[in-house]
Structure 1
């Protein structure tokens, strides 16, 4: 089984990167690849609940993060420093990622067969 790690680095709306990363994660998991997600930099904004992207003409794909357990995507990491930079607490997130340090993220990346950055 191939280990795929997908890194979310960009804000969720204004570009298709976040939605494409999530689609790739779900598709890969459906083909029985071991998928891990990492949220860093602006990418942590993908985790904020109660977003209203339709106000700017974008589609709401954030709710789809709730389907991750159905696809056996269990390794979901968020950079502690990035969350602090944006003033985000666990209560404000749509899912409950593991809050980790950069060294833990490096370990996850080292164990991956493939890493894709969005």
Structure 2
């Protein structure tokens, strides 16, 4: 079965891309499709702790990211440079992740048959 990579590139609120990507990840994993999640650029904000989307009257889907391991999505990759550019570190994120350099991230993505970017 082909592996699926879902790349999160957008901020979590104000757009639907992050929520749609998360829904796709959970759905594909529920059908036993090997799924990996990549967070690059502003996509790293998807995993940031302490978000309060209710204050901007946005739907709170962020906590659902913690369910990824329950769906056997354990390959969660975050771009180290993206974190650094935003003044963040892995400890600022809500869950354990694998932090990779941009080059390592590219190599990991190149080993995946299907890539969808949101």
Instruction: State TM-score, norm by structure 2.
Output: 0.97
Secondary structure at the residue paired with 1:70? helix
Superposed displacement of residue 90, structure 1: 2.2
Aligned to 2:86: 86
Superposition pairs of residues 18-97 of structure 1, within 5 angstroms: 18-97=18-97
Secondary structure at the residue paired with 1:19? helix
Secondary structure at the residue paired with 1:20? helix
Q: Which runs of 4+ in 1 moved over 4 A?
A: none
| Cα offsets for 1:19-78 (capped at 9, x unmatched) | 000000000000000000100000000010110001111011110011011100011110
Separation (CA, whole Å) in 1 of partners of 2:84 and 2:25: 26
Instruction: State TM-score, norm by structure 1.
Output: 0.97
Aligned to 1:100: 100
How many residue pairs get aligned? The number is 118
Q: 5+ unaligned residues in a row in structure 2: which ranges?
A: none
Aligned to 1:10: 10
Q: 5+ unaligned residues in a row in structure 1: which ranges?
A: none
